[in-house]
Every structure is written in structure tokens, then in C-alpha cells.
């Protein structure tokens, strides 16, 4: 059994995924980071403790293969940061079935499939495991969600899933936590909201700091944790 933390990060090429992966590598963890396309080039590609794994995590078989691969190669999976996701605007009237399904697949199904496979593996481990998912404020505040219906509904399912996993922690040893950013300070958000005060937003590095804490043994007593990282937004 490895002494290092073996960590899965999904969406490692995303704005948050890059910050989280870098931060976890600083902690001397081994990180297996998923990307959707093989040609994706990342700053930490050559880091000795990083392995890039190409997978579509909305595909059931690919997620099963991913979790099997990590377990067979590294012996265990201690922690996972499930960061694949996306955003869409639209009121109830504007949101079509296709819009709803797209957000459901991207935000919920991707995390669900990972949780299902990770939970099965982590339950077999003496030390259990810890899964962190990225929520979103509109899923917790319906007034904000009214203009982004497919997004907030898909993210709210994650909070439900988080509770379902945590309801069995004492039996399974598998914990689940949520990190909830308001608006991340990323180039696409700056481009789409040029008049906003960017200093009000939360940075990917700040979220990464919290994820690194959750990945550490210092978070061991925490249960059913929802970290709201809203900055001043």
C-alpha cells in the first residue's frame, strides 16, 4: 500500500482543475488527472507525480476503466476532486429539453458515474476515501437559479448525491464534501462580464487551497462539509 495520497482530479485541464492539480502536486500527492482530448498540453505534464489520463467521464465504461486503472496501478484511491462541469444561462421558459439534458450530463452524470465507481473502490480500502465535488451557488439560492435553470438544477442534484453518500459514511468509510465557488476569476468569466469588479470573485488558487486542505489528514474529522467560497461576489 502506497504512503502517498493517490488522487483523481477530473477536468484537470480546466481553469479550476489546473489550479487544484498544481496545488495537490505541491503537497507531494500522486495525481491522476483526466482530460477529454489527448493533445491537451498541461504545465505539469512532466511532473513525476502526475499522470494524464484521457477519458470522457460522462461515459459509464470509460469511468469504470479509469477507476480500475488507478486501483490496479497505484493500489488505492484516497481522494478525488470531481471538477468537470459547465455553465448555461436560461430561464424556465428558455430552457429546452436538450439544454436540460446537456447540463445534466455535464454537471451531474459525470460526477455521478465517478462517485459510483469511486465509492465501490473506496469501501474496499481500510482507510476509506474522500470525494469532493464542485457545486454552485444558484443551486443553493433559488432566486439566483431562476435565470440559469438547467445549470442550477443539475448542480442541485450534486448536493443531493453528496448527502446520499454521507448518509452511509459510518458503514462505508467514504466521505463527500462540496466546494461551492461563486464566480471564479477566470479569463472566460472576465470576457463575459467585463464590467464586473474581478477582485470580488474567488480565484481558482483559493479554491485549490481548500481542496488541498480537504485532501489532507487535517480534514479527517469533517463530515457533510459544504464550503462556500463566495469571496465578495
Ligand X SMILES: NC(=O)c1ccc[n+]([C@@H]2O[C@H](COP(=O)([O-])OP(=O)(O)OC[C@H]3O[C@@H](n4cnc5c(N)ncnc54)[C@H](OP(=O)(O)O)[C@@H]3O)[C@@H](O)[C@H]2O)c1
Contact residues: ligand X, CB under 6 A: 11, 13-17, 34, 36-37, 56-58, 83-87, 106-107, 110, 134, 136, 181, 183-184, 186, 189
Q: How far is the CB of 136 from ligand X (least distance, A)?
A: 4
Q: Which is nearer to ligand X, 60 or 94 (CB)?
A: 60
Q: Which is nearer to ligand X, 86 or 128 (CB)?
A: 86
Q: How far is the CB of 198 from ligand X (least distance, A)?
A: 12
Q: How far is the CB of 173 from ligand X (least distance, A)?
A: 25
Backbone angles phi, psi at 95, to 5 degrees: -95, 115
Q: Which is nearer to ligand X, 2 or 160 (CB)?
A: 160
Q: How far is the CB of 48 from ligand X (least distance, A)?
A: 22
Q: Which is nearer to ligand X, 41 or 170 (CB)?
A: 41
Q: How far is the CB of 144 from ligand X (least distance, A)?
A: 11
Strand order of the β-sheet with 226-229 is: 50-54, 30-35, 6-10, 79-82, 129-134, 174-181, 226-229
Q: Which is nearer to ligand X, 25 or 184 (CB)?
A: 184
The angle subtended at Cα 123 by Cα 47 and Cα 18, nearest 5°, is 25
Q: Which is nearer to ligand X, 57 or 67 (CB)?
A: 57
Q: How far is the CB of 233 from ligand X (least distance, A)?
A: 9
Amino acid at each position: 500500500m502506497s504512503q502517498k495520497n493517490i488522487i483523481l482530479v477530473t477536468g484537470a485541464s480546466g481553469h479550476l482543475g489546473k489550479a487544484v492539480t498544481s496545488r495537490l502536486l505541491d503537497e507531494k500527492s500522486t495525481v491522476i488527472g483526466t482530460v477529454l482530448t489527448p493533445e491537451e498540453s498541461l504545465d505539469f505534464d512532466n511532473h513525476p507525480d502526475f499522470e494524464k489520463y484521457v477519458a470522457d467521464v460522462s461515459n459509464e465504461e470509460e469511468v469504470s476503466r479509469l477507476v480500475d486503472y488507478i486501483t490496479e496501478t497505484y493500489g488505492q484511491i484516497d481522494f478525488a476532486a470531481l471538477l468537470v462541469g459547465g455553465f448555461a444561462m436560461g430561464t424556465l421558459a428558455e430552457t429546452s429539453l436538450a439544454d436540460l439534458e446537456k447540463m445534466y450530463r455535464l454537471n451531474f452524470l459525470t460526477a455521478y458515474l465517478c462517485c459510483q465507481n469511486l465509492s465501490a473502490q473506496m469501501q474496499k480500502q481500510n482507510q476509506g476515501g474522500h470525494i469532493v465535488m464542485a457545486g454552485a451557488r444558484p443551486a443553493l439560492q433559488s432566486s439566483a437559479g431562476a435565470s440559469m435553470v438547467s445549470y442550477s438544477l443539475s448542480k442541485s442534484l450534486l448536493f443531493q448525491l453528496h448527502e446520499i453518500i454521507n448518509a452511509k459514511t459510518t458503514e462505508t468509510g467514504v466521505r463527500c464534501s462540496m466546494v461551492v465557488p461563486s464566480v471564479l476569476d477566470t479569463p472566460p468569466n472576465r470576457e463575459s462580464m467585463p464590467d464586473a469588479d474581478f477582485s470580488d470573485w474567488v480565484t481558482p488558487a483559493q479554491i485549490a487551497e481548500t481542496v488541498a486542505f480537504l485532501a489532507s489528514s487535517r480534514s479527517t474529522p469533517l463530515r457533510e462539509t459544504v464550503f462556500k467560497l463566495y469571496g465578495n461576489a
